[in-house]
Structure 1
Amino acid sequence: MIPAKFDYVRADSVEHAVQLLQESDGEGKIIAGGHSLLPIMKFRVTEPGKLIDISRIPDLKGVRVEGNRIIIGAMTTHHELANNPIVNEKIPVLAEAARQIGDIQIRNRGTIGGNIAHGDPVADLPAPAIALDAGLIVHGEEGVEVMELDGFILGPLITILPENSIVTSISLAIPPSHAKSTYLKFFHHATGYPVVGVAVVAGTDKEGLIDYVKVGITGVGDVTYRATAVEDALLGQKPSDDVIESAAKLAIEDVDMGSDLFASEEYRANICQVYTARALKSVLL
């Protein structure tokens, strides 16, 4: 469990980090909190020749409101997310998820940028982020662009992040004021990672019909995904136990369930449906 030899350099700005990536000829990796990267380096899943530390770049921290969206710096830690007043007021589902990540050491060092951009299929924050229509603000050789989180992750640890680019912030939609939210997680007792994590943001109109619903699911497959079949089944319906149970069965539609020694495909499929129903009921009933 010893990583391969590598060089280390600290970037003092976003532009400097991009420059260092260019100079590394594909051998460079960005490191922030390190809780996602270092374990796979120890197993030699990846062997970067150079680690580029962005943890001291002040522009990569903080939370602010821009119109109907929240912008969060990629270096903002899980602890800061969990306790930020803007996050707790406007998008509390993200704070709720952040409080459930790992242990206190991980929450103090791990960052939202690393948790989302790493492409880990059992990361917590991608579920609420995708339910909040997240966009990743990316700085690279060609300038700045916004990449939608839905479709950004292609598979375990595989993303469409352009070469020599870094995620500098996350943009998240502020839900309607009448919407409520939750993040429910069934975690692996040895690791704390979600076997399934379900984020729900939903609300009803004055007639009691569901007019807003977003469901993000992590842990059960190769990528975090929006359960759009569930959303489509619920929109315009009056929430009830039967309506929600029926819709929750669609949470596994067109999803390849993961399987390991802890949980089979069948078990993951069942618990995904159960937790989706529980999350929806806690918000809508």
Structure 2
Amino acid sequence: MKPVDFQLHRPQTLAETLTLLHDLADDVKVLAGGQSLLPLLNFRLARPAHVVDIGRVVGLARLRRTSSELSIGATVRHAEAERSPSVAAHAPLLTAALPQIAHPPVRTRGTVGGSLAHADPAAELPSVAMALDAVFVAASTSGERTIPAAEFFRTHLTTALRPDELLTEIRFPRAAPGTGAAFLEVGRRRGDFALVGAAVQVTVDGPRIAEARVCLSGVGQIPHRCPAAEEILTGAPLGSARVREAADAVRDSVRPSDDLHATAAYRKDVAGTLLVRAVTKAARRAESADRKDET
């Protein structure tokens, strides 16, 4: 199929973009890399009268780091973030998740901001943002505001962004020394949207886990942060049986639905299994990072 007719706008500046969104807010879609929007347009699941292409907007493709955070502009490509040493050093969970997104051609075009604004709960980056307590920066002609990840994702494909707002950057807190991460998922085939995914980041202090962050994808209408599992893991000796308790906490807390691809019972079971594997992998990486920090 082909999209319905629409008017394409290609602003060069952020101010021009925000003016367009303000004036066209009732019937406009934002185009970044196009990997989420273009299929919706082609299948006529989205029928906007206007499309604003932000690919040329100056300043949205910047990747910056400070002593406390990593800032990723909305139009930074998946592939660029995947290769970035700054991302690997500051947000190892993001580095672990990016290679899981679809296929290399998609990651070459797709953007970090586009994936997050699309807000598919089965996608990788929303669960990473939720696990890391990322902060979203939204701009409009009225000014700028920040939205915590816990408040950004409202429901399936729906965020806290207002129609006249543009997501301009995402801020991730810098990982502490001795931090390791893992992102594991199960799908029907490589590159498909995952049936279930597990985003885990742990920080170790000697032989114990000092902090754990756990978020699941594909088990609800938004990414599922699991504080119960995090509490069980925090303070646990590395390699202890408490990881199994955390897996049980995950299974007890998720509320997936049956669909054409998998049953709810299957998703619950897989969520717990992935949690065990992801914690084990993340802890191993954290131990290695901790040893490097000591040398």
TM-score interval for Structure 1 and Structure 2 normalised by the shorter chain = over 0.9
**Greater shift in the superposed pair: 75-84 or 256-265:** 256-265
Quick one: which amino acid aligns to residue 228 of structure 1?
P
User: For the residues of structure 2 that align with 1:259 and 1:251, how far apart are their CA atoms?
Assistant: 18
**Once the two structures are aligned, what percentage of the paired residues are identical?**
30
Secondary structure (helix, strand or coil) at the match of 2:26 reads coil
How far has the Cα of 1:190 moved from its partner?
A: 7.3
The residue that corresponds to 1:78 in the other structure is 78
3-state SS of 2:100 partner: coil
Q: Which residue of 2 aligns with 1:171?
A: 171
Question: Matches of 1:88 and 1:242 in 2, distance apart?
Answer: 29
Residue of structure 2 in register with 1:96 after alignment = 96
Q: Distance in 1 between matches of 2:251 and 2:70?
A: 30
> Which runs of no fewer than 5 residues in structure 1 stay unpaired?
none
- What residue identity is the alignment partner of 1:217? L
What's the CA shift for 1:2?
2.5
Q: Is the 8 A contact 1:132 1:175 kept in 2?
A: no
Aligned to 1:35: 35
Q: CA deviation at 1:241?
A: 4.5
Aligned residue in 1 for 2:245: 246
Q: CA deviation at 1:148?
A: 0.8
Alignment of 1:199-278 (within 5 A): 199-206=199-206, 208-278=207-277
- Please state which structure has a larger fraction of its residues in helix: 2
Q: Deviations over 1:201-239 (max 9, x none)?
A: 102223x23211111211222111211111011222223
SS at match of 1:239: coil
1:10-89 to structure 2, matched below 5 A, reads 10-89=10-89
Q: Which moved more, 1:255-264 or 1:111-120?
A: 255-264
1:112 aligns with 2:112: yes
3-state SS, counterpart of residue 70 of structure 1: strand
Paired residue for 1:149? 149
Does structure 2 conserve the Cα–Cα contact (< 8 Å) formed by 1:18 and 1:141?
yes
Distance in structure 1 (CA, Å) of the matches to 2:30 and 2:55: 10
For the 8 Å contact 1:222–1:256, the answer to whether it is kept is no
Q: How many residues align?
A: 284
TM-score (norm 2): 0.91
Equivalent-residue separation in structure 1 for 2:148 and 2:188 (angstroms): 29
* Contact map agreement 1:180 1:203 (CA 8 A) in 2: yes
Residue matched to 2:288: none
Name the SS for the 2:79 alignment partner.
helix
Q: Distance in 2 between matches of 1:227 and 1:261?
A: 26
Aligned equivalents of 1:197, 1:190: Cα separation in 2: 13
Q: Matched residues in 1 for 2:264 and 2:191: separation? A: 19
List structure 1 runs of 4+ shifted beyond 6 angstroms.
none
**Structure 1 residue 283 and structure 2 residue 251: aligned?**
no
Structure 2 runs not aligned, ≥5 long: 285-295
State the TM-score, normalizing by the size of structure 1: 0.94
Q: Could you tell me which residue of structure 1 aligns to residue 128 of structure 2?
A: 128
Q: Is the 8 A contact 1:241 1:281 kept in 2?
A: no
The alpha carbon displacement at 1:124 in A equals 1.0
